Structure 1
Amino acid sequence: MYAVIKTGGKQYRVQEGDVLRVEKLDAENGKEVTFDDVLMVGEGSSMKTGGDVASATVTGVITESGRGQKIVVFKKRRRKNYRLTQGHRQSFTSVRIDSIKE
């Protein structure tokens, strides 16, 4: 069975045992986190969506928090002697999915 959850403005398809990187969550490593914004639950012909999944929850444990690889942003305007280099590292939280409850 799998579920589609929404967190950090993105949607993720998860199964029990999956480890996924989501946007930074305000919790410490080893803490349990519950995702209440479930969009779809089920498998095959037993899919539930909309109001049928209002009570569904997905729980997981935070395994890691950190920052991703650096992305270099380079801007240039030709013939104007304009060059701008910036860097960005996105914060993330790794979550191991433990259970999906309908």
Structure 2
Amino acid sequence: MYAIVKAGGRQEKVTVGEIITVDRIDAAAGASVSFPALLVVDGANVTTDVAALSAVKVTGEVIDAVKGPKIDILRYKNKTGHRRRQGFRAQHTRVKITAISGAK
């Protein structure tokens, strides 16, 4: 059984026991979080009905907060000596999926 959930502006395919990395969630390590399900596949049964999916709960446990890879932003204009350097590192949260409940 697996589910497609909406997490941090993206869709993630999750199964029970899987660890996923999503955009930062403001929750402490060990806290429980839930994600809205967009699709549930249980063997040959595929659930896409909005009314049926409203009863489905995908829950997970926050493991820790991590940082993504560093992105270097370099801007350069020739003949003027103009150079600008900027860096960015995204904040992520690792979540372990504990249950997909309510699926028929």
| TM-score where L is the length of structure 2 | 0.89
Match of 1:48 in 2: 47
Structure 2 distance, partners of 1:75, 1:28, is: 37
Match of 1:4 in 2: 4
SS of aligned partner of 1:55: coil
SS of aligned partner of 1:69: strand
Cα distance, 1:59 vs. partner?
0.6
Structure 2 distance, partners of 1:9, 1:50, is: 21
Q: 1:31-67: per-residue Cα shift (whole Å, max 9, x none)?
A: 11111x2100113430001322121110111111122
Match of 1:84 in 2: 84
Superposed, 1:10-89 pairs within 5 Å as 10-35=10-35, 37-51=36-50, 52-89=52-89
Q: Give the length in aligned residue pairs.
A: 101
**What letter corresponds to residue 66 of structure 1 in structure 2?**
V
Structure 2 distance, partners of 1:40, 1:77, is: 48
| TM-score where L is the length of structure 1 | 0.91
Q: 1:55-101: per-residue Cα shift (whole Å, max 9, x none)?
A: 11101111111222321111112223221110001001000001101
Match of 2:93 in 1: 93
- Runs of 5+ in structure 2 lacking a partner? none
